[in-house]
Structure formats: structure tokens, C-alpha cells
Structure 1
Amino acid sequence: MGENIYSKITPEILEMTELCRRNGKIDPELYAKLDVKRGLRDINGKGVLAGLTEIADVHAYNVVDGKTVPCDGQLFYRGYDVEDIVKGFPAGAHNGFEEVTYLLLFGELPTQNELNNFCDVLGYYRSLPPNFVRDIIMKKASKDMMNTLARSVLMLYAYDDNPDDISVPNVLRQSLQLIAQFPMLAVYGYRAYQHYWNDDSLIIHNPDPKLSTAENILKMLRRDEKYTPLEAKLLDLALVLHAEHGGGNNSTFTTHVVTSTGTDTYSSIVASLGSLKGPRHGGANIRVMKMMADLKDHVHDWKDKDALRNYLDGLLNKQGFDRSGLIYGMGHAVYSLSDPRARVLKRFTERLSQEKGCEEEYHLYCDVAEIAADLISRQRKIYKGVSANVDFYSGFVYQMLDLPMELYTPIFAIARISGWCAHRIEELVNDGKIIRPAYKNVLETRQYVEMKDRK
């Protein structure tokens, strides 16, 4: 195949790039001088207040005698502690994600009858328009599953008789359909990628409307369509823990920003997908997995804590892995002493590691988390505590579930669309104004120069 001229960086492009760099750099000192909260967060990591919500809350510190004191993190869905929600799931149940989705959308915990009816609604919507897989997903399969997912969502607009109606009933209908369809869009997109780019057999399994979201993901992905109850439980738990994280995280804030313009549901969700695709947001667990693979290449005795410490110390000093100076999966923009999602996932991860014969690797993760937190606290200027976040363990869980790495971020999206839709509806219900923050221009005005006088 010949060179793709549309993807080539030419000398002209490089020359113009230098203009961008030379004329686009802003003096970093100006941000402090003008009190600009870069990333919309202050020096302690606290976000700038940009809106109000009743959907979720993140608690990471207490105020004692007027001082901010870090504490073990808590995550609340509609006022309920997510750890209590998880504890309340019936033994053997695999539809915790459906229960949490109901809670996020409607603000109340469902009764058993309400949950059953809600699962029936999602099961009814768990299908795609006729020939959609053939005409859309299988055509020009992308190497990136998030792009595939976004393209599919945009194309669903064309199959909707009322795509631009932003009344709450219609947006709720669209939301329920997308929540139900996301697993199919992601899995089928991966199957198309494997077939067209890796010459794998093309296998399409239909979802079962009677199964949960987690069960259907495993059923559709696996050739034999089989999975264990614990596998379904762990994936369901991962979906629950990724479903929502407040209005200020990047992709959910994107939902609010784009929804405030009055645009359609499909465009709003695709904008959030674009945000989540960014490696600073949704791809963290992939970097954790690659870092851990590199660690295993360099530390052959996983029980040698001195060797682990030396490796991690090298990462912090930009002497190992990608030389970024980061230990991936450690620390969080909000949480300090602990991430509640990581605490919950860690407990169940141990059980899955026993079923899969991966106890030694589980203990490796635990040791790395402990040593890394100590090293970071000693070597970095930390304004709050540091601990392992949910991304540190989620990739390991997906690995034990034999989920392909290409689907790690789409699975995040399968979970988070519940939160996005809840926030979109909240924005519409409250008739919010279009979101338009201020940017201060720091370039002095200049006198226009005629073409003949330019140099």
C-alpha cells in the first residue's frame, strides 16, 4: 500500500509548527500573577466551583479549626455512599450497574419491582437498527475503539425520528437506548477491528435481553459465550465504580458544557467520548498495565521489595519506563489518603486473583502501591496525601477477565454514560444558561500592517 499523503507531515507543516510554538507560548508566571486556576483547580487540587448538582459528590478532606485535613475518600451517588451501595447488592446478583443507573437517572433507589422493570426496558432497547452493524460498524473499521464508538453514536442520530428534540422525555428515551446499546457498539467495533486489521475470524454474538450489562459484555466477547459468576460480579462492580464521579470531571463537565448549548443528545455524548478518550482522563489503566509489564521485565523476584523500590525510584527520577517521572495509578486530582473505588475494587480483586491463580501478581500490585505511595510522599511536594487510585487495579481486573486492552477505555465509557446522561438531564431540567467562562487576553494590541510593508 502506498504512502497516505493525507497523514504525512511535510516540511511546510513543520515550518508552520514553529510559528505556532513561537507565537503561542504564554509566560507561565502570568497564570500566578493573574490568579488563573489552571485546570480549574487551586494549588491544593480543589476545583473551582462552576455549578451545582445532586447526582454525585466526592469527599476527600475535612475542615478542622478552619484548616483542610485530608481524610479517606468517599464517593456518594445521589447522597448514598457507594461503599454502602455495593455492600447492599444481593449475593450472586450481577445487575448492580443497572441499579446504580436507575439511582443516578431518577434520584431514588429502586424497589425490586422497579429494578426488574428497568432491566426489562434496557433489555428491550439492547438492539441496533437493521443492518447497522453491516453498514456502519463493519465499514472501514478503525484501529481506535473510542473513535469507532463515537462514529457509531453519531450515526445513530440518522436512525432517530426525533434526534433534535431536547424535551426531557425524549432525551430520557435516547439516554436509555444509548446506555443499552453501548456494550454492543464497543464489542462489535472491536470484532470489526480484529477482523479487518488482524485477520481474525468475524464472530458476532447477539446480546441476551435477560442478562445484565456485565454479563452481556462477557457473553458477546467470548467465543464460547461462557463466564463464571465471579467474573460477572467483578465486571459489574467495575461498571458501578466507574458510572459517575461528580460534575467536575472532564468528560462530565463536557456533557454540561455541550448540553448547555441546546444541542442533541448524540452530539453531547460524542463530545464526552472525545474527552474520555484523552490519556489524561480515560486511558490511565492502560498506562498502568504497560508500566507493570515493564516492571516485570526488570524485577524478576516480585517479592524483593528493595528491587521494587529501586525500580519505582527510577520512575520518579525519569530513569525508567517512559521517563515521564510518573508512577501511573498513583494519586488523584481530588482524593488524598485513599480512593474509595480503589478500596472496594481491591477487596474483590483479591477474590478474582484466587479464582484465576493470580495471587502472586495481586500481592505484587499491593506492594507496588504501598512502596510507591511512600516514595512519592518523600520525594515530591505533595499538598495532600497520595494513594493508589481505581485505575491502578481496574486494568489488572480486566486482564484477569481476558478483556482486550483496546476495550479498556470503551468499558469506562459503557459505565460512565449513565452519569453523563444523568447530568445531561439535570442540566436540561434546570434550564441552565449556556456555559461560557472567561479567558483574559494577555497580548497587547498592535497596529495593522499593510501587505506591502510586511517583512
Structure 2
Amino acid sequence: MTIQPDYVKEELLHELSESFCMHNQLPPDLFTRYRIKRGLRNADGTGVLVGASHLGNVHGYILNEGEREPIEGRLTYRGYNVYDLIHGLEQENRFGFEEIGYLLMCGKLPSRRQLAEFQHTIGLERALPDNFTEDMIMRAPSRDIMNKLASATLALYSYDANPDETTVENIMRQGISLMAKFPVIISHAYQAKRRYFDNDSMFLHVPDPNRSTAENILHLIRPTGEFNDDEAKLLDRCLILHAEHGGGNNSSFTVRVTSSSGTDTYSAIAAAVSSLKGPRHGGANLRVVKQFEEMKENIHNWKDETEVGNYLRKILNKEAGDGSGLIYGMGHAIYTLSDPRAVALKKAARPLAEKTGYSDEMDLIELVEKLTPGVFAEIKGSDKPMCANVDMYSGFVYKMLGLPKSLYTPLFATARIVGWMAHRLEEVTTGGKIIRPAYKPVAKNIEYVNIDERNDGPIND
């Protein structure tokens, strides 16, 4: 493919950037002085309360006389403990992502008849519009599949006979369609990336309307289209654990903000995909994987607690890793003693690790999880509780399943689409006002200067 030539000169970019930096300095004490809550966070790290929701509850601490008291993490979907949902599915040996989608978007767990009809509808909706892959994915392939997912989501607007109506019925229809199509879009976008950027073969399989979302993902991505039940069930559990995480996370809040303006479903979801792409959000598991690759190269004995602990000290002291001083996969804004998603994923991952020869690598991950809180307290002088978050294990699970790194964040989006749609439905029906927070204006009043009297420097005298 032909890349658009760059006509912007380096000298012009330097001048424009210098001017911007010169005119956008903010004093360090500005946020404290005006009590500005950066990131919509309170001083104690809790989120600013901006709404109410029936959907997900992320519970990681209790406030005791104004102090945060750590507790074991709890994640609920519509009031159901996520542990109970997964346990019920395991007892009945069933796939569950579609059922969780029904729960989040409709408000209740479905009956057998309701679930069968829902699954049948999803199966019929999986097929992309005629020539969509050729016109919207193959003609402009992307190095990053998240960008292609966002643009393809926007493109689906053009294929919808009723794209703008914001009734519950219409949004529900669009949500089911996107839930069904996301696995196909990311799979075809991945195949296009292989062909045009990796100089590799491309395999375009047809989605199976009778298979679950997890089964279709493995079928569509793998060259042979083959997989086993254990692999598909593990991926299904990953999708369930990523389906929803409250309205305050960045991408779900993005859906709330855009939906509050009255925009269409495709625009709101494309914005959420763009939000999730960021390394501070959905892209975090890639950083975990990269850090563990470095650990495996630099730690001789993965089972030696002293050696592993010393390497963690180097990371925290910015002597190893990417220089950030962060141990990725450890710590969370809300969870303190445990992240229930990480706990559930670790339990589900162990059997596959033993079958596929990844036991030693999983032992190393668990050792890092065990040692990090103590090393962090030693280096940082902090007694803040710290647990592994879901990113510690999600990338490892995808690796065991043979899924390419470029699909890790798109898989997150494929799971979270049901949570996003549930938040969109809730915002449209109960929000009532456009979301519009305030920013403190700090620019001084300046008199207008005629163009011939202005200088070429970054600051006008």
C-alpha cells in the first residue's frame, strides 16, 4: 500500500511546537490552589462521583473514619458476583460470554429459551456487510488493529438503515450487531496486517453462526481454524472478566460522555475503542508481557526468590525495564488486597499452563506477584497494599493460546463492547444532561495586535 507523503517540514513543526510549549505552561501549584481534581480523582485517589449505575460495581476498599481500609476485591455485574457467574458456567460446562452480554444489556440472566434466541441472533449478525472486508479493511490496512476497529465501527454507520435513532430498541439492535461483528472485524484486520505489514500469508475464514464468540475468535485467527474446547473455554472466561468494570473507567466513561451528547451508537463506540487503545488503559497488558520477556532474559534462575527480588529492585530503581520505575501488572486504582479478575484468570490459566509447558513461566509470574509488595515497600517506603491486576495474567493467557500480541487489546475491546453498550443504554435513558465538566481558565487578557505588527518569535511583545 502507498503511504501518504509527509509535506510538513521539520522546521515548521519545531516552530509550531516551540510556540505551543511557550504558551501552555502551568504553575505546579495551580491544581492545588484551585482544588482541581486531576483525572477526576479526589485527593485520596478515589474517583469523583459523577453518576449512578445498575451495571458494574468495582469494590476494593471500605472507608473507615475517612481512611481507606483494604479488603479482598469484589466485582459484580448487575449485582451478581463475577466469581458466582463463572462458577455456575463451569459447573454446567458452558460458554458464557453471550449470557453475560444479555445480563449487562438487558438487566437479567436469561432463561434457556431467551439465551438460545439471543445466541441465534448473534450468530446471524456475525457476517459483515457485502464487500466490507475488501472495501473497509483490505483497502486501508492498519499496523494497529485498534485503529482499524475504530474506523470499521464508524464505517458500519453507512450500512445501517436507521443509524441515528436513539430508542432503546434501536440501540439494542445495534449493540447485538456490534457484539457479533467485533470478532470478525479484528480477525480480518489482523489478517490484513499480516499480509501488508508482516509480509506473511493471510487466512480469511468465514465465521460460524453456531459457535460461541470465543470459538469464533480462535477459528478466525488461526491459520487452520482449529482449536480445542479447553482453549475456547479459557478465552471465554477472559472475555467475561473483561466485559464490564464500572462507568468510571476511561473507555466506559467515554461512551457516557459521547452518548450524553445524543450522538449515534457507532460514533460513541468508536470513541471508546480509541480510548481503550491507550497504554494507560487497554494496552497495559502488552507492557506486562514485554517486561516479563526482559525478566526471563536477565534472571538466570526463575525460582530463586533472591535473584528475582533483586531484579525487581532494579526495576523500581529505574535500573532495569523501560526506565519508568514501574512493575507492570501490579497495583490498581481501586483494588487493594486482590483483583478478582486476576484471581479468577490465574485459577483458569494454571491447567492450560501445565498442559502446554508454560508452568515455569507461570511460576515466575506468581513469584513476582508474591515478592513485589515487599520490595515496593522497601524501596518506596510505602505500606500501601498492592495486588496483581488482571493485566498480570491476561497477556500470559493469550500467549498460551497462541494469540498474537497485536490482538491483545482488540480482544479486550471485543469483550468490553457489551459493557459499553450497557452504559450507552443507561446513559441515553437516565442521563438527562450532556456531560460538561469545567476547566479553570488561566489565560490573561491580551489586546489584539494587527498582523503587520506581530513578530516571528514564539511570544508577541
The residue that corresponds to 1:352 in the other structure is 352
Paired residues of 1:70 and 1:384 also in contact (CA < 8 A): no
Q: Matched residues in 2 for 1:7 and 1:97: separation?
A: 47
TM-score (norm 2): 0.95
Q: Percent identity?
A: 47
Structure 1 residue 95: Cα displacement: 2.1
Paired residue secondary structure (2:447): coil
Deviations 1:19-75 (A, max 9, x none): 211211211211112111111112332100011111111111123355431111111
Moved more, 25-34 or 62-71: 62-71
Question: Would you say how many aligned residue pairs link Structure 1 and Structure 2?
Answer: 455
The residue that corresponds to 1:275 in the other structure is 275
The residue that corresponds to 1:233 in the other structure is 233
Q: Is 2:197 the partner of 1:207? A: no
The residue that corresponds to 1:69 in the other structure is 69
The residue that corresponds to 2:255 in the other structure is 255
Paired residues of 2:377 and 2:384 also in contact (CA < 8 A): no
Q: Matched residues in 2 for 1:187 and 1:273: separation?
A: 16
Paired residue secondary structure (2:197): helix
Could you say if the C-alpha distance between residues 4 and 117 of structure 1 is closer, same or farther in structure 2, counting changes exceeding 3 Å?
closer
Could you say if the C-alpha distance between residues 102 and 382 of structure 1 is closer, same or farther in structure 2, counting changes exceeding 3 Å?
farther
Could you say if the C-alpha distance between residues 66 and 276 of structure 1 is closer, same or farther in structure 2, counting changes exceeding 3 Å?
closer
Q: Matched residues in 2 for 1:387 and 1:308: separation?
A: 17
Q: Is 2:51 the partner of 1:51? A: yes
RMSD: 1.7
Moved more, 299-308 or 245-254: 299-308
Paired residues of 1:99 and 1:110 also in contact (CA < 8 A): yes
Could you say if the C-alpha distance between residues 88 and 186 of structure 1 is closer, same or farther in structure 2, counting changes exceeding 3 Å?
same
The residue that corresponds to 2:39 in the other structure is 39
Aligned partner of 2:216: which letter? Answer: N
The residue that corresponds to 1:437 in the other structure is 437
Aligned partner of 1:226: which letter? Answer: E
Paired residues of 1:101 and 1:418 also in contact (CA < 8 A): yes
Q: Matched residues in 1 for 2:108 and 2:41: separation?
A: 31
Deviations 1:124-165 (A, max 9, x none): 111111111112111121111001111111111111111111
Q: Is 2:371 the partner of 1:371? A: yes
Give the unaligned 5+ runs of structure 2.
456-461
Paired residue secondary structure (1:6): coil
Q: Matched residues in 2 for 1:165 and 1:381: separation?
A: 55
Moved more, 167-176 or 36-45: 36-45
Q: Matched residues in 2 for 1:28 and 1:253: separation?
A: 27
Could you say if the C-alpha distance between residues 160 and 412 of structure 1 is closer, same or farther in structure 2, counting changes exceeding 3 Å?
same
Q: Aligned runs of 1:60-139 on 2, under 5 Å?
A: 60-65=60-65, 67-91=67-91, 93-139=93-139
Deviations 1:377-431 (A, max 9, x none): 3333658421110001000000000000000000000000100000000111115
Could you say if the C-alpha distance between residues 94 and 183 of structure 1 is closer, same or farther in structure 2, counting changes exceeding 3 Å?
farther
Deviations 1:165-196 (A, max 9, x none): 11111111011000000000000100011011
The residue that corresponds to 1:146 in the other structure is 146
Could you say if the C-alpha distance between residues 178 and 130 of structure 1 is closer, same or farther in structure 2, counting changes exceeding 3 Å?
same
Aligned partner of 2:77: which letter? Answer: Y
The residue that corresponds to 1:293 in the other structure is 293
Could you say if the C-alpha distance between residues 176 and 7 of structure 1 is closer, same or farther in structure 2, counting changes exceeding 3 Å?
farther
Moved more, 110-119 or 403-412: 110-119
The residue that corresponds to 2:312 in the other structure is 312
Moved more, 13-22 or 261-270: 13-22
Paired residues of 1:92 and 1:233 also in contact (CA < 8 A): no
Paired residues of 1:94 and 1:232 also in contact (CA < 8 A): no
Paired residues of 1:57 and 1:75 also in contact (CA < 8 A): yes
Moved more, 406-415 or 152-161: 152-161
Deviations 1:198-247 (A, max 9, x none): 22222111111111100110111112222122111110000000000000
Paired residues of 1:60 and 1:336 also in contact (CA < 8 A): yes
Moved more, 381-390 or 79-88: 381-390
Q: Matched residues in 1 for 2:2 and 2:399: separation?
A: 36
Structure 1 residue 15: Cα displacement: 2.0
Q: Matched residues in 2 for 1:325 and 1:66: separation?
A: 30
Q: Is 2:332 the partner of 1:325? A: no
The residue that corresponds to 1:389 in the other structure is 389
Paired residue secondary structure (1:202): coil
The residue that corresponds to 1:284 in the other structure is 284
Q: Matched residues in 2 for 1:265 and 1:382: separation?
A: 44
Paired residue secondary structure (2:72): strand
Structure 1 residue 311: Cα displacement: 1.2
Deviations 1:335-371 (A, max 9, x none): 1111110011111111110111111111000001111
The residue that corresponds to 2:428 in the other structure is 428
Q: Matched residues in 2 for 1:265 and 1:381: separation?
A: 47
Deviations 1:279-322 (A, max 9, x none): 11010010000000011111121112211111111111111121
Q: Matched residues in 2 for 1:221 and 1:88: separation?
A: 28
Aligned partner of 1:107: which letter? Answer: G
Moved more, 1-10 or 161-170: 1-10
Paired residues of 2:183 and 2:414 also in contact (CA < 8 A): yes
Paired residue secondary structure (1:419): helix
Paired residues of 2:123 and 2:209 also in contact (CA < 8 A): yes
Paired residue secondary structure (1:28): coil
Aligned partner of 1:270: which letter? Answer: A
The residue that corresponds to 2:23 in the other structure is 23
Paired residue secondary structure (2:63): strand
Paired residue secondary structure (2:399): helix
Aligned partner of 2:252: which letter? Answer: T
Aligned partner of 1:405: which letter? Answer: K
Deviations 1:94-115 (A, max 9, x none): 5211111111001111122221
Q: Matched residues in 1 for 2:446 and 2:134: separation?
A: 56
Could you say if the C-alpha distance between residues 3 and 284 of structure 1 is closer, same or farther in structure 2, counting changes exceeding 3 Å?
closer
